[in-house]
Structure 1
Amino acid sequence: MLKFEDKRNFWVSNQVYLKPEYLSHPYISGNKYRKLKYNLIEAKKTGKDTLLTFGGAYSNHIAAVAAVGREFEFKTIGIIRGEELALKIGSNPTLKFAQSCGMTLKFISREKYAHKTGDTYISELKNEFGDFYLIPEGGTNTLAIKGCEEILTDIDKEYDYICCSVGTGGTISGLINSTCQHQKILGFPALKGDFLSEEITKFVTNENWELIADYHFGGYGKVSDSLIEFINNFKKVHNIPLDPIYTGKMMYGIYDLIDKGYFPKNSKILAIHTGGLQGIEGMNQRLKQQNKPLIV
């Protein structure tokens, strides 16, 4: 199975340290490695040779599952939201990469995608593709959370706050389950809406967490000039890249909260860099079309 090399935490400000999960693997990095680890073990254990999952046009999860298939000799199938994308694979870096890894891409309407987890549609997929191991969109399930519980180690007990970006809620759930009593977990959602709290509650029992919903910049995939400027300056100063969908928004939020006096004096903050860097190329395509500053 995939080997994970634990890296030392990076100091990035007086109070903030960064855990570089993104350095674990060129393509199966950060929380994607953690989420897929025990799912791959289970797939092997149950004799499944095909992984099927779901995602959008620039999905980190789709790219990671495709890379896993190539590295560990699984067949992979990606059910992609948006029929129009079938004609745009060549110009979409995420889908192009997934296809180069051998992933079979099936494009469906957004209306049908909304019902993707229903028994009727799953039966349709089994009739079309045969038996497969199903991984949910974003990768979050109980096995994924088990993997994310391994992000924090003994050396991380010294931190008072653990911060992470939030997509489907799996990563933060694993962190919540593995923290010490004195620590508080702050999640920075990339999406608008209050549904994430309910999702996270399904997987955790500790109550030492909070979602900071002020830094989604308009919702999933939305950015601003100030966010891009922050990401570029952060890389210039620290030589650490941030993606614009998840980690960039989280770090922006952490620094803004520090400026506003949210954190008690002398508290130590650990930010989890969950990867997602493959999404930068696709975002730059969109920014270029809008004559906006690019991520460098």
Structure 2
Amino acid sequence: MFQEIKPLNTVVALEGSKAILVCLKREDEIHPIVSGNKFRKLKYNIEAAKKENKKTLLTFGGAFSNHIAAVAEVGRLFNFKTIGVIRGEELASKINENATLKYAKDCGMVFKFVTRSHYRAKDSLVFTALLKQEFGDFYCIPEGGTNALAVKGCEEILKEEDFNFNYICASVGTGGTLAGLINGSKPSQKILGFSALKGDFLKKDISKFATQDNWELLSNYHFGGYAKINKELIAFINNFKATNNIQLDPIYTGKMLFGIQDLIAKNYFPKGSKILVIHTGGLQGIAGINARLKHKNLPLIH
């Protein structure tokens, strides 16, 4: 696929972390669009699509989906046709107002906008049959990219030097990245997943792929649900960038690092702990979030 770089582990400063080492693995620097966990998740899926002689990639996502943007970019780079099944019929008339969808369209992606109720049935055999009837043969990549091949790719995130860390932290959207980290870690390490969504249902999805039990899903830092943010989170993200010169996204990594700082303040981590935080990318979504914040007269992410 792409020529893979070796992401560096960068020491970062969090409030109250003087007795604790916090390092950020810069997976976001792998590629400007297909970055972080999107590179990992798509790597073996693209290989499989090529082996099966598929010419079209079809996938699913919402208004600010990093996955939609990444699949569209992969299609452009490797000459696949791409189809995005998008949650929310109202978005059909707002493509040019949405930075993510406009980017995907400019890469050549064709959209099918569906209602939220229809979207919930996207994994059914009937829905798949209707898509094949409309678009013909395609290689289907699940929402968020999570499947067995995606987990295989995410197992490659951790390298030899990462086994010295006591804790590995990652944001969780569909669970594939965390499952890969769990499988690629040492049993002595604790893997912490910070859910970007409400509820504990992701535990079941992670358990389907995880081969160890050295993990925990934390569900207290979603800020109201997927893509929900407030002034406190915006201030944290902007302050983190001012302090560390590293951009965080508001849907995933920003919430995770906010949670880690809060856990440090609550003495969750013993003194002397070494924490490795995975920056999973997602920076392309900031433009869309800022457009929403501007409309609501809220502070912007810098």
Q: Distance in 2 between matches of 1:197 and 1:115?
A: 21
**Match status 1:11 vs 2:11:** yes
**Match status 1:34 vs 2:37:** no
In the other structure, the counterpart of 1:235 is 241
TM-score (norm: length of structure 1): 0.99
In the other structure, the counterpart of 1:224 is 230
Give 3-state SS (helix, strand or coil) of 2:82's partner.
strand
Q: Distance in 1 between matches of 2:134 and 2:7?
A: 43
In the other structure, the counterpart of 1:66 is 72
2:181 aligned to 157, 175, 179, which one?
Answer: 175
In the other structure, the counterpart of 1:279 is 285
In the other structure, the counterpart of 2:88 is 82
Aligned partner letter, 1:257 = L
Aligned partner letter, 1:223 = I
TM-score (norm: length of structure 2): 0.97
- Following superposition of structure 1 onto structure 2, how do residues 28-177 of structure 1 map, counting pairs within 5 Å? 28-177=34-183
Give 3-state SS (helix, strand or coil) of 2:41's partner.
helix
Q: Which runs of 4+ in 1 moved over 6 A?
A: none
Unaligned stretches of 5+ in structure 2? none
Give 3-state SS (helix, strand or coil) of 2:283's partner.
coil
- Following superposition of structure 1 onto structure 2, how do residues 164-203 of structure 1 map, counting pairs within 5 Å? 164-203=170-209
Instruction: Give per-residue Cα distances to partners, 1:170-200, cap 9 Å, x unaligned.
Output: 0000000010121000000000011100111
In the other structure, the counterpart of 1:20 is 26
Report percent identity of matched pairs: 64
Q: Distance in 1 between matches of 2:225 and 2:287?
A: 19
Q: Distance in 2 between matches of 1:205 and 1:61?
A: 25
C-alpha deviation, 1:205, in angstroms: 2.3
Aligned partner letter, 2:7 = K
C-alpha deviation, 1:141, in angstroms: 0.1
Give 3-state SS (helix, strand or coil) of 1:52's partner.
strand
Give 3-state SS (helix, strand or coil) of 2:168's partner.
strand
RMSD: 0.7
Aligned partner letter, 1:86 = A
Give 3-state SS (helix, strand or coil) of 1:68's partner.
helix
Give 3-state SS (helix, strand or coil) of 2:85's partner.
strand
Aligned partner letter, 1:12 = V
In the other structure, the counterpart of 1:289 is 295
Unaligned stretches of 5+ in structure 1? none
Q: Distance in 2 between matches of 1:228 and 1:87?
A: 28
Instruction: Give per-residue Cα distances to partners, 1:78-106, cap 9 Å, x unaligned.
Output: 00011111100010000000000000011
Q: Distance in 2 between matches of 1:178 and 1:278?
A: 27
Number of aligned positions between the proteins: 296
Q: Distance in 1 between matches of 2:83 and 2:256?
A: 31
